[in-house]
Amino acid sequence: MSESTDVQTLLKARYGAAAPTPLTTENPVISTLLQHRSVRSYTPEPVSDDVLDVMLAAAQSASTSSNLQCWSVVAVREPQRKQRLAALAGQQRHIEQCPLFLVWLADLQRLDATGERFQLRREALDYMEMLMIGVIDATLAAQNAAVAAEALGLGVVYIGGMRDRPEEVAAELGLPPRTVAVFGMCVGHPDPEKPTTIKPRLPGAAVLHRERYDPAANIGPVDDYLHIANAFYREQQMKTNGNWAEHSLHRVRGPEAMRGRDRLAEALRARGFPSR
């Protein structure tokens, strides 16, 4: 997707002056990972079932807790259904526009139903740990699928908006109890008229701790990042709520900032997920 596949160039785009020296300059997997940027505009070209199969195989190749494979995915192509899902996610236009919309689920129902068929105990399904396993498994699978899609020249964007109104999303997709949408993912061929850019991240020093966590260690790197992110916002003419700190804190200012997700715990309980 990027003009350059050179790892050093990509690291510069990701970190600016804080870019580390690359171990290798040419590696197709590392290049694909570093080239990631969310894509929200697509050409009308469909995403074939062959591509979907590759994404699925990549997803299923991810590690999964104890091989339980507590996730599923719903592939949506039907325009009216995408339109309704877009409305449930705060009218995000890219959900309607993308040719393929994937909804990634934490799925404990398959284990539950298997236990029932074979008359096997399954009380642990009622514990928070199992929801965590479902969410982790779904996330690892989705990210593998995203990388596979990007390696094939497609663009993706995750859609956390699938958690804004979880009961209505569940009804739209016919989800059984003990399943919940963790996030969606728009997939399509990037529109060349609307090119996207690599978004800088925090310097590695803000997130990497050696041996023991040091809360003070991220102060300097965060301050550096405010300048890097500001320059990026200006260059991209991005509308933000102030600098990165103000923008990020605005997002967590209170339940009113959560677009309905402040009642997620309640919605999860209603869908048969645990409180223990």
Ligand X SMILES: Cc1cc2nc3c(=O)[nH]c(=O)nc-3n(C[C@H](O)[C@H](O)[C@H](O)COP(=O)(O)O)c2cc1C
Q: Tell me the closest approach of the beta carbon of residue 115 to ligand X, in angstroms.
A: 30
Residue 199 main-chain phi, psi, to 5 deg:
-95, 125
Does 159 contact ligand X by CB under 6 A?
yes
Distance between CA atoms of 163 and 66, rounded to whole angstroms?
A: 26
Which CB sits closer to ligand X, 64 or 92? Answer: 92
Nearer to ligand X, 113 or 257 (CB): 257
Select 125 or 142, whichever has its Cβ closest to ligand X: 142
By the rule CB under 6 A, 183 interacts with ligand X: yes
Kindly state whether residue 199 participates in binding ligand X, applying the rule CB under 6 A. yes
Shortest separation between residue 86's beta carbon and ligand X, angstroms:
10
Of 40 and 189, CB closest to ligand X: 40
| Dihedrals phi, psi of 93, to nearest 5 degrees | -60, -35
Q: Is 229 in the site for ligand X (CB under 6 A)?
A: no
Site for ligand X in 30-89 (CB under 6 A): 36-38, 40
**Alpha carbons 257 and 34: distance in angstroms, whole number:** 30
**If you count them, how many residues does the chain have?**
276
Candidate residues 15, 158, 232, 273; the one interacting with ligand X per rule CB under 6 A: 158
Q: What angle do CA 269, 274, 275 make, to 5 degrees?
A: 85
Contact 206, 244 (CB under 8 A): no
Q: Which is nearer to ligand X, 71 or 158 (by Cβ)?
A: 158
Three-state SS at 112: helix
Q: How far is the CB of 67 from ligand X (least distance, A)?
A: 24
CA 237 – CA 5 distance, rounded (Å): 25
Structure tokens at 139: 């996330």
Q: Is 76 helix (H, G, I), strand (E, B) or coil?
A: strand
Query: Of the candidates 20, 46, 153, 160, which one interacts with ligand X according to CB under 6 A?
Result: 160
Q: Which residues bind ligand X (CB under 6 A)?
A: 36-38, 40, 92, 157-161, 183, 199
